[in-house]
Amino acid sequence: MELELQYVDPRLVELYDIENTRGGDTDFYLGLAADLAARTILDLGCGTGLLTRELATDDRVVIGVDPSAAMLAYARRQPGAERVQWIEGDSGALGTPEADLLVMTGNVAQVFLDDAVWAATLRDIHAALRPGGYLAFESRNPEDRGWERWNREATYEQSDSPFGPMESWLDLASVGDGLVRFEAHNIFNATGEVLVVPSTLRFRSQAEITASLTDAGFSVEHVYGNWLRGPVTVASRVLVFVARRNGD
């Protein structure tokens, strides 16, 4: 799978944690790991390692896996990085550590555009978990039609960055067959450089995700509609799945 520019360009990598700050999702996954008394935790698509490093307490083995060398290089420079095992790769690099919990955050589940690739990823995750181990991840709720808010008027921001003043916004490109294509515009005011980053995400329904998990050997225990573990409603912007690997 070819990596999008946002995961490769060193400037965009450095901006990632600024634009995607710690929030309710971090608290949710930390709380879940505590509730499950998870001791071996995998973070697939760990990116810059914001959550990964918080998960890595002294009594845990935490492994962060990501296909982006640039993201991992940034993650390794952050405080607490030494407590994490970092692996460059996709789900095929997970191995079989019999983990208690695997998380995919930051809507990583939506980068698997092809159903066959998504199914293969779930099979790799199944193999990496112990029987009875848990998979937790989120995906944007297609019923919310959040892409309709991805326009300059709704998303335009001016900010100070490590590279000086910036302007940024999103523009929707197309919607069809479960795929949403959009562009992230970045203007570096100090140089006048304009960086346009095209992206594509797959929006799967709750029913589609549940069926794919069942097919891969998981039992869905919870689907939440927000980070406070509330139910899914028509207004839910996110679908948060907690699934258990079926025993052998």
Domain span at residue 183 reads: 144-201
Q: Tens digits of per-residue pLDDT, 96-112?
A: 999 999 999 999 999 99
Domain match, 156 and 136 both: no
- Sign for the pseudo-dihedral over CA of 118, 233, 135, 138: positive
Predicted confidence (pLDDT) at residue 20 exceeds the cutoff of 70: no
Q: How many domains does the chain have?
A: 2
Helix, strand, coil % over all residues of the chain, rounded to 5: 35, 35, 30
User: Are 109 and 163 in the same domain?
Assistant: no
User: pLDDT (tens digit, 9 = 90+) per residue, 196-222?
Assistant: 999 999 999 999 999 999 999 999 999
pLDDT of residue 19 exceeding 90, the answer is no
125-173 per-position pLDDT tens digit: 999 999 999 999 999 999 999 999 999 999 999 988 888 999 999 999 9
Check whether residue 155 and residue 216 sit in a common domain: no
DSSP state of 135: E
Q: Return the CATH number at 105.
A: 3.40.50.150
pTM, entire model: 0.93
Q: Are residues 136 and 163 in the same domain?
A: no
Whether residue 98 contacts residue 130, with contact meaning beta carbons closer than 8 Å, is answered with yes
Kindly state whether residues 214 and 189 are assigned to the same domain: no
